[in-house]
């Protein structure tokens, strides 16, 4: 690569892996991939009025807010692989890891068979219409928490397909949390197939902790609770049930929480563990040791007044090779890659965060060097 | 300092800016109350196309409103379509974060035609430091 090493890295100088982009899956798109009677259900849902990521019976959110004048909060969707490729080109992103849109809320469905069928349909739809090595669009196998055995089968099926590089663990409205032993088949399959698990939440109101926020007036209170608090709660339970100990080769990734909550979790859990080690009998080392081995996606990247504080924050959890770029395109709070690239990091750290660490994590093909 | 023609003044309506491009710089001209304002179509946050966002008002609750919610500045608040930051169309400043502002250009009207003057960056205008 020939470039002036004194010049700051530009977007075209680095290989960029975006660990979180969203494919929009309206009910009618999944209908051909789902069994009866659910095919008829999705066809019916597809004929009804559809609000943005707010479709009863498909993307339940319990939206209690009135529409606010002129604030659409960027209700963008990407409905085809072609559109996604074009959008990512526009953003200078080489590789995108796909997550759903509506099915971010799949964990709330009480009907186990419906949820499992939706998960299978989504995975089949991704395989059929979205993922390809040529376009750099890769899938995360949707693991439906309501049916861990079926989810494990899906992980083994699609994990054998090199266009799927991860397992998506839905977090919004989940009960029990991801540390529960009922999910062991999912972790077993993911570890066996060499696929990292990626926890991803979304904004909803739901009776289950920490989503029981129907009494909260402001969206800016609900949003971080829906994301960071939910990730923290799941991380804590995964530690106490020994997920990283029992599945030592399993890589664990947290998306859409930024990074600044990570040091708190380490130190707080170490403190609890010192006082009550019987509360986490599986652990062989302090909790922080395990947290330092996990991965954290950048979005929504913190934008502190002194941007170098972000580097301090990453160093607090030894995260220079564990922080990986995500944009969350096309959602309202997406980060443009230049926002992360322009942080005051050295060139090696920038390359790692923007793509190299993710390339190693997801075992992506080595990119052709950028001219 | 280049002076760029934008178009007839009466074709620029409130909430519907006119766009001109000069080299790599895209500029939007807005009609605001008593006249026109011109801003670069680049958000100081993450460089989104701020001038393509809706023009609206905003919600405040201050001592002046007796701590009740009040809808104010209708027609004067530009909302960035990327992350919804709000800018006062009159001053170009970000609401509630006055040190950040849009890059502004002088506007004049001559014989019913609107012009903007493209000058060097106004060094008094701070930008967000990290992006
Ligand atoms: S780019 Fe304008 S608000 Fe973020």
Q: Cα(B25)–Cα(B12) distance, rounded to whole angstroms?
A: 20
- What is the pLDDT at residue A260? 97
Q: CB–CB of B18/B12 below 8 Å?
A: yes
Q: CB–CB of A209/A233 below 8 Å?
A: yes
- What is the pLDDT at residue B99? 86
Give bridge partners of residue A270 from the DSSP assignment: none
Instruction: Tell me, in angstroms, the distance from the centre of ligand 1 to residue B43's CA.
Output: 5
Question: Rg of chain B's alpha carbons, rounded to an integer?
Answer: 15
Class of domain B3-117: mainly beta
Is 50 exceeded by the pLDDT of residue B127? Answer: no
Is 80 exceeded by the pLDDT of residue A370? Answer: no
Q: CB–CB of A216/A222 below 8 Å?
A: yes
Instruction: Tell me, in angstroms, the distance from the centre of ligand 1 to residue B72's CA.
Output: 21
Give the closest-approach CA distance of B12 to chain A in angstroms.
Answer: 20
A369 exposure class (CB count in 10 Å sphere: 0-12, 13-18, 19+): exposed
Q: Cα(B64)–Cα(A310) distance, rounded to whole angstroms?
A: 38
Q: Cα(B53)–Cα(A49) distance, rounded to whole angstroms?
A: 26
Peptide bond into A210 cis (omega under 30): yes
Closest partner residue to A74 (CB to CB) among B57, B81, B131 is B81
Query: A368 pLDDT band (50/70/90 cuts)?
Result: low
Peptide bond into A330 cis (omega under 30): yes
Classify A44 as helix, strand or coil. helix
Chain A hits for B82, CB-CB cut-off 8 Å, are 74, 334, 336
Sheet of B35-40, strand order = B18-22, B25-32, B35-40, B104-105
**A 293-332: CB under 8 A from B:** 303-307, 332
Closest partner residue to B46 (CB to CB) among A73, A307, A336 is A336
Is 50 exceeded by the pLDDT of residue A1? Answer: no
- What is the pLDDT at residue A130? 98
Closest partner residue to A335 (CB to CB) among B46, B54, B129 is B46
Task: Determine contact: A101 vs chain B, CB below 8 A.
Answer: no
- What is the pLDDT at residue B33? 85
Is 50 exceeded by the pLDDT of residue B123? Answer: no
Q: Which domain holds residue A262?
A: 17-361
Looking at residue B41, what DSSP letter applies?
S
Q: How many domains does chain A have?
A: 1
- What is the pLDDT at residue B122? 53
Query: B1 pLDDT band (50/70/90 cuts)?
Result: confident
Closest partner residue to B130 (CB to CB) among A69, A73, A307 is A307
What is the share, in percent, of chain B residues with pLDDT greater than 70?
92
The CA–CA distances, whole Å, from B64 to A132, A246, B68 equal: 58, 60, 9
The answer to which of A67-76, B23-32, B56-65 has the lowest mean pLDDT is A67-76
- What is the pLDDT at residue A326? 98
Q: Cα(B51)–Cα(B37) distance, rounded to whole angstroms?
A: 11
Is 50 exceeded by the pLDDT of residue A371? Answer: no
Give, in degrees to the nearest 5, the angle at Cα A15 between B41 and A248. Answer: 125
Average predicted confidence (pLDDT) for chain A: 95
Give the closest-approach CA distance of A37 to chain B in angstroms.
Answer: 40
Classify A18 as helix, strand or coil. strand
Q: CB–CB of A298/A340 below 8 Å?
A: yes
Asked whether residue A371 is assigned to any structural domain, the reply reads no
Question: Residue A202, Cβ neighbours under 10 Å: how many?
Answer: 27
- CATH number of the domain that residue A240 is part of: 3.20.20.140
Tell me the domain boundaries of chain B.
3-117
Query: B76 pLDDT band (50/70/90 cuts)?
Result: very high
Is 70 exceeded by the pLDDT of residue B71? Answer: yes
Mutation site, B15, B16, B46, B47, interface A, largest A CB count within 10 A: B46
Asked whether residue A6 is assigned to any structural domain, the reply reads no
Sheet of A252-254, strand order = A17-22, A95-99, A137-142, A164-170, A197-200, A252-254, A295-297, A323-324
Q: Cα(A301)–Cα(A310) distance, rounded to whole angstroms?
A: 9
Q: What is the dihedral of CA A361, A363, A365, A371, to 10 degrees?
A: 10
What pairing do the DSSP bridges indicate for beta strands A197-200 and A164-170? parallel
Query: A67 pLDDT band (50/70/90 cuts)?
Result: confident
Query: A320 pLDDT band (50/70/90 cuts)?
Result: very high
How confident is the model over A257-285, as pLDDT tens digits? 999 999 999 999 999 999 999 999 999 99
How confident is the model over B86-105, as pLDDT tens digits? 999 999 999 998 789 999 99
Query: A75 pLDDT band (50/70/90 cuts)?
Result: confident
Instruction: Tell me, in angstroms, the distance from the centre of ligand 1 to residue A325's CA.
Output: 18
Give the closest-approach CA distance of B112 to chain A in angstroms.
Answer: 31
Instruction: Tell me, in angstroms, the distance from the centre of ligand 1 to residue A370's CA.
Output: 28
Please report the atom of ligand 1 found closest to the CA of residue A336.
Answer: 1
Average predicted confidence (pLDDT) for chain B: 91
Chain B hits for A332, CB-CB cut-off 8 Å, are 83-84
The CA–CA distances, whole Å, from A149 to A145, A187, A247, A257, A345 equal: 9, 11, 17, 28, 43
How high is the ipTM of this complex?
Answer: 0.88
Asked whether residue A12 is assigned to any structural domain, the reply reads no
Chain B hits for A70, CB-CB cut-off 8 Å, are 54-56, 79
Chain A hits for B54, CB-CB cut-off 8 Å, are 70
Reading the block at residue A228, the tokens are 């960071």
Chain A hits for B129, CB-CB cut-off 8 Å, are 305-307
Query: A204 pLDDT band (50/70/90 cuts)?
Result: very high
Query: A322 pLDDT band (50/70/90 cuts)?
Result: very high
Strand blocks (E) in A262-364: 295-297, 323-324
């Amino acid at each position: 690569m020939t470039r002036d090493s004194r010049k700051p890295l530009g977007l075209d100088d680095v290989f960029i892996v975006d660990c979180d982009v969203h494919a929009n899956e309206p009910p009618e798109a999944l209908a051909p991939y789902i069994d009866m009677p659910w095919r008829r259900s999705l066809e019916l849902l597809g004929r009804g009025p559809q609000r943005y990521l707010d479709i009863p019976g498909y993307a339940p959110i319990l939206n209690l807010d009135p529409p606010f004048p002129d604030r659409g909060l960027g209700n963008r969707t990407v409905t085809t692989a072609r559109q996604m490729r074009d959008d990512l080109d526009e953003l200078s992103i080489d590789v995108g890891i796909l997550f759903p849109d509506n099915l971010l809320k799949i964990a709330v469905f009480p009907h186990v068979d419906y949820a499992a069928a939706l998960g299978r349909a989504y995975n089949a739809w991704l395989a059929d219409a979205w993922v390809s090595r040529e376009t750099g669009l890769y899938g995360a196998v949707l693991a439906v928490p309501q049916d861990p055995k079926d989810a494990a089968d899906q992980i083994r099926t699609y994990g054998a397909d090199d266009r799927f590089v991860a397992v998506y663990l839905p977090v919004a409205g989940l009960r029990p949390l991801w540390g529960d032993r009922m999910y062991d088949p999912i972790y077993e399959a993911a570890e066996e197939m060499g696929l990292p698990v990626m926890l991803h939440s979304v904004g909803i109101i739901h009776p289950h902790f920490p989503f029981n926020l129907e009494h909260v007036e402001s969206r800016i209170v609900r949003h971080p609770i829906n994301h960071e608090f939910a990730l923290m709660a799941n991380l804590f339970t995964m530690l106490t049930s020994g997920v990283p100990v029992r599945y030592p080769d399993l890589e664990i990734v947290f998306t859409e929480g930024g990074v600044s909550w990570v040091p708190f979790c380490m130190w707080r859990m170490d403190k609890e563990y010192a006082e009550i080690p019987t509360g986490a009998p599986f652990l062989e080392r302090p909790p922080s040791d395990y947290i330092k081995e996990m991965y954290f996606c950048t979005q929504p990247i913190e934008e502190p007044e002194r941007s170098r504080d972000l580097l301090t924050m990453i160093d607090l959890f030894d995260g220079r090779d564990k922080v990986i770029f995500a944009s969350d395109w096309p959602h309202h709070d997406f980060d443009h890659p230049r926002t992360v690239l322009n942080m005051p990091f050295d060139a090696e750290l920038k390359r790692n965060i923007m793509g190299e660490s993710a390339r190693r994590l997801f075992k992506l093909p080595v990119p052709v060097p950028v001219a | 300092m280049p002076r760029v023609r934008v178009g007839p003044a009466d074709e620029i309506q409130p909430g519907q800016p006119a766009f001109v491009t000069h080299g790599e710089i895209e500029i939007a001209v807005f009609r605001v109350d008593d006249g026109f304002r011109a801003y670069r179509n680049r958000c100081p946050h993450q460089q989104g196309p701020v001038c393509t966002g809706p023009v609206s008002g905003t919600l405040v609750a201050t001592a002046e409103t007796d701590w009740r919610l009040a809808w104010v500045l209708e027609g004067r608040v530009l909302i960035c379509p990327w992350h919804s930051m709000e800018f006062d169309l009159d001053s170009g400043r970000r609401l509630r974060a006055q040190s950040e502002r849009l890059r502004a250009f002088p506007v004049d009207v001559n014989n019913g035609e609107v012009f903007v003057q493209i000058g060097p960056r106004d060094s008094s205008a701070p930008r967000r430091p990290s992006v």
